[in-house]
Amino acid sequence: MKDSILDAIGSPLVRVPAPEGATIAAKLEGFNPGGSAKDRPAREMVLAAEREGLVQPGDRLVEATSGNTGIGLAVVAAARGYDLTIVMPQSMSEERKQLLRAYGADLELVDGDMTTANQRADELAEAVGGFRVSQFENPANPRAHYRTTAEEIIEQVEGREIDAFVAGVGTGGTITGTATRLLEEFPDMEVVAVEPAANAVLSTGESGSDDYQGMGPGFVSDLVDRDVIDRVETVALADAEAAVRELAREQGILVGQSSGAAYVTAWRVAERIAEPELNCPEVSFDAEDLADADVDEDALADGGDPYDDCPLVVTVFPDSGERYLSAGVFD
């Protein structure tokens, strides 16, 4: 039994279809209590502030967010007894707004983007004497992924080598924290960042306008550690949404837009590093299929995994598709 919902943070790593001769595994962050990867930094940022004596239960937290961090903070605030004000661009999905209210957060919507939301959150924190969580600057954000996302992945690959890690970039917390820890275990691993094609600020230095929720804030956050990133890829929203529908309809995996972009990119990376002559297993849950698979008995006799050699791409699917139903992604 878990003592608190905050102890229930964590997610499975699941094999998804991959090009022949490669394996793609996705961290399904929609399994977290608040439905996204952001539960991790939300918990870490609040607990770090408590340890530093900056906040205590009963205080008010203030944050600007495109949604998921707000929902993560709303879970933590409710579970630990904080008041919470969230500032969010009006354009974010209805589900996100309703979820925040359901957890009891106070919500202020602004016309404009994340920059506008950040400015308003600064003003509000000042006015009400609240603690500004500052996910775009807070080192506890990447630290949460270093400590939890990456540690879980290392355990979940069960001794296999990870050849590439692919993650979308918003605050940069996921890619910086997870890749930094994974590189300690797998120094030769390639790290690939994903951003919206229409707002490719990491690739081009120029911001643009895109309809992704959560990915591509339109500026490069200080938390993005470019030293751990080998390459940046862009994905058009239409391609990401096509991947999202395929994952839902053919795999039973319901995820959001940035997960679709991560999957499109993971597929490209897997194609580049695939070794088609290897007999890599496909997605399968059927014990009969497993028994029939072409297993290398010698490797098994040695106690090894016969698929150890299949190039492995690990990626992160940051949230569940349930919060995109009104956005028309599945229509």
Ligand X SMILES: Cc1ncc(COP(=O)(O)O)c(C=O)c1O
- Given candidates 70, 89, 214, 311, which one binds ligand X under the rule CB under 6 A? 214
* Biggest distance spanned by C-alpha atoms of the chain: 69
The reply to whether 228 sits near ligand X by the rule CB under 6 A is no
Applying CB under 6 A, which of residues 157, 179, 215, 235 lies at the interface with ligand X? 215
Q: Does 170 bind ligand X (CB under 6 A)?
A: yes
Tokens linked to 153 = 């992945």
Contact between 196 and ligand X (CB under 6 A)? no
* Residue 11: partners with Cβ closer than 8 Å, 6 or more residues away: 27, 28, 29, 30, 31, 32, 37, 152
Who contacts 282 (Cβ-Cβ below 8 Å, separation ≥6)? Answer: 17
Residue 174 within binding range of ligand X, rule CB under 6 A: yes
Q: Contact, 316 vs 174, CB < 8 A? A: yes
Q: Is 21 in the site for ligand X (CB under 6 A)?
A: no
Site mask for ligand X (CB under 6 A), range 28-57, x = bound: --------x-x-------------------
- Let me know if 258 is a catalytic residue: yes
Residue nearer to ligand X on the CB measure, 19 or 95: 95
Q: Which of 228, 233, 232 is nearest to 181 (CA)?
A: 228
Q: Which of 27, 36, 38, 259 is catalytic?
A: 38
Residues 61-120 interacting with ligand X (rule: CB under 6 A)? 66, 68-69
# chain residues binding ligand X, by CB under 6 A: 19
Pairing label, strands 231-235, 13-16: unpaired
Partnered with residue 196 across adjacent β-strands are 235
The β-bridge partners of 110 are 89
CA angle 69, 24, 183 (to 5 degrees): 70
Tell the burial category of 145 from Cβ atoms under 10 Å away from its Cβ (0-12, 13-18, 19+).
buried
- Decide if 11 is catalytic: no
Least gap, CB of 38 to ligand X (angstroms): 6
- With contacts defined by CB under 6 A, name the span among 3-11, 49-57, 163-171, 283-291 that binds ligand X: 163-171
Among residues 163, 195, 210, 319, which is the contact residue for ligand X, using CB under 6 A?
A: 319
Query: How is residue 149 written in tokens?
Result: 């996302």
Catalytic residue among 36, 93, 258, 320: 258
List beta partners, residue 87.
Answer: 64, 108
Applying CB under 6 A, which of residues 105, 124, 169, 314 lies at the interface with ligand X?
169
Q: How far apart are CA 189 and CA 14, in angstroms?
A: 19
Give residues 239-278 in contact with ligand X (rule: CB under 6 A). 256, 258
Compute the least distance from the CB of residue 261 to ligand X, in Å. Answer: 8
Active-site residue set: 38, 258
Q: Which residues bind ligand X (CB under 6 A)?
A: 36, 38, 66, 68-69, 168-174, 213-215, 256, 258, 318-319
